[in-house]
Structure formats: structure tokens, C-alpha cells
Amino acid sequence: MDLKLKLVATDLDGTFLRNDKTIPEKNVEALHHLGSQGICRVIATGRNLKKTREVISPEIPFDYVVFSSGAGVYDLKQDKLLYHQNLDKTIVQQIADFLVERDLNFHLFKPVPENYKCWYHRGTVPCSEFEMYFDFHQSDAEPLVPGQKIDSEACQFLVVFPNQIERFLELKEELSTLFPTVKLVRTSSPLDTGYIWMEIFHQSVSKGNGVRFVCDALQIAHEHTLGIGNDFNDMDLLEFTNFSYIVENGPKEMKERFLPAKSNEESAFAFAVRKHI
């Protein structure tokens, strides 16, 4: 007998949303149908809470949002922050010094729930990807002043690389050795430029752990969960959920591990949900 779904979690960009950030009507219909069945509906996104609300209006019937890749969990119905996990300020300073010494371009996001605000460091080598991202966030950004202590917790670092996987892997290994209490996540640029992003979080932060938190709060067993995503930063989510789908526009490596769904342009979320209700 098929296991009854009790929770469905979806990534946003490249999964629930079309490429132009609109929402397919079939996906909205699927959300309403899930709600009528008493099934919990969860966003699991790399966006911060402010950026999530820019694309998901209150009329779109989600129940919870796991935001900033799991650094925070928010109850949308009660308008309440339930959980957050930031990097310790000592580690923040050490990693910032490491990245500055290596002349890397990066943003450092302030602690949850104010993590739509950030500091930034611009390296000496021009980086168009960094500048594009900076343009989106400059109203909430301030420069890291050389020699000035940060003296604050932080949600995450975002380091921008050219599409050179060898360089990414070398730096990831070095950071992992020096800072074993952090988590390093590779993700593709949502700006569709071919650049690689490295996100650095507290070691307990992941979309999977965020969804686990919701499951534990609602006493929902893993067997009754479904997840859908499109990129490497969804790996922990899809490893946690029982029925786990990767969209057609996802990486080949992930398609070999998870159930296939249609592309985000073809209502992938609704496609996966229909398989189980």
C-alpha cells in the first residue's frame, strides 16, 4: 500500500518557479489540493526570508519556509521565526581573513533574521558575476573595512568563482581542513552565467535539517515526506525526504540518484505531487 504523504517540501528557483520567477498555475492548484488533504507545504530555499517573500505572496498557500538553505525556519501562518543557526563570530572573523588574504570576491550575510543585509569584499581581480550580484544587494550592503574587526555572528559567506571546478575543490579542501566546524556547499549561479558559488554555513545548516525540524515539530515521520529540487544545494533535502525528485533541468549527477520530474518550466512541482495523491 502506498504511504500517505504528510509533508511536501520544494525548492523555489529552478524548481517551483519558472525561469522568469513566475509560478505555474498547476503548482498553485497542487498546493491548494495538498492543503485540502491536510498535507504540510514547505518551501526549502537558499533565499533569505525577505527575498522569499518577493516571489511568494501571502496568497500562495505554503505553511513553513526553510530559508537561507536551512539557517532559519519560519512559520508563515503564525508569522513567527521558529529556529535559526548562525556562524560564531570567532569563526566569522577567521574565515573572512582567510578569504581576504586569498583576494577572493565574497559577500558575508549578517545574522538571521537580518541576513538580507550583508558586508562585501571586492578582490583585485574583476569579477562580473560578483558585480551582478552586488547590484541586486547594494542597498543592503556595506564594505568590509580592511583591518576592522567584524565582532558579529553571521548567517553565511557567499564566495564567487569562475567556472573552474578544480579551483573550487582545492579551496574547499583547504577550508574544510582549517575550519572543520563549518559546512561548504556548492551551488550553480542563479544568474545563469556559468559561475560557481560556494556557500559557507554552520555545520548543522542544511535544507534537510530544516525540513527535519518541521517534521519533528509536527511529529511527521520521514516515510511520509516528499521533496523536489534542482541543484547541489538541494542534496541534503532530497537525501532526507522519502520520495525525492530532481527536475529535468537539474545536474546529471543528481538525476542518477533521485526520481525524475519535468522541468521547472513544465510545472515540475505539480508533476511530482500528482504521483502521490
Q: Which residues contact 102 (CB under 8 A, 6 or more apart)?
A: 171
Angle at 46 between CA 40 and CA 51, to 5 degrees: 90
* 146 band by pLDDT with thresholds 50, 70 and 90: confident
Give mean pLDDT, residues 111-131: 92
CATH domain 7-85+205-274 topology: Rossmann fold (3.40.50)
pLDDT at 25: 98
3-state SS class at 138: helix
3-state SS class at 46: coil
- Give the Cα separation of 196 and 82 in Å (integer): 31
Which of 42, 26, 74 has the alpha carbon at shortest distance from 267?
26
Give mean pLDDT, residues 155-179: 90
What pLDDT, in 10s, does the model give residues 19-65? 999 999 999 999 999 999 999 999 999 999 999 999 999 999 999 99
Which grid coordinates belong to 272? Answer: 511530482
Order of strands across the sheet that contains 72-75? 80-84, 72-75, 64-67, 40-44, 7-10, 225-229, 243-246, 259-260
Mean of all residue pLDDT scores within the chain:
93
**Predicted TM-score of the model (pTM):** 0.90
Q: For the domain bounded by 89-202, which CATH number is listed?
A: 3.30.1240.10
- Hey, what amino acid is at 91? I
Q: What is the pairing mode between strands 182-188 and 156-161?
A: unpaired
Contact between 195 and 118 (Cβ < 8 Å): no
Give mean pLDDT, residues 108-136: 91
Neighbours of 192 (CB within 10 A): 9
Domain coordinates of the chain in residue numbers?
Answer: 7-85+205-274, 89-202
Give mean pLDDT, residues 251-262: 95
Q: Is the pLDDT assigned to residue 1 strictly greater than 50?
A: no
* 172 band by pLDDT with thresholds 50, 70 and 90: very high
Long-range contacts of 193-196 (CB under 8 A, 24+ apart): 193/128, 193/129, 193/132, 194/163, 195/129, 195/160, 195/161, 195/162, 195/163, 196/160, 196/161, 196/162, 196/163, 196/164, 196/165, 196/168
pLDDT at 193: 67
Which of 53, 49, 54, 59 has the alpha carbon at shortest distance from 25?
59
What pLDDT, in 10s, does the model give residues 204-241? 999 999 999 999 999 999 999 999 999 998 999 999 99
Give mean pLDDT, residues 145-152: 88
Q: Looking at per-residue confidence, does 146 or 24 come out higher? A: 24
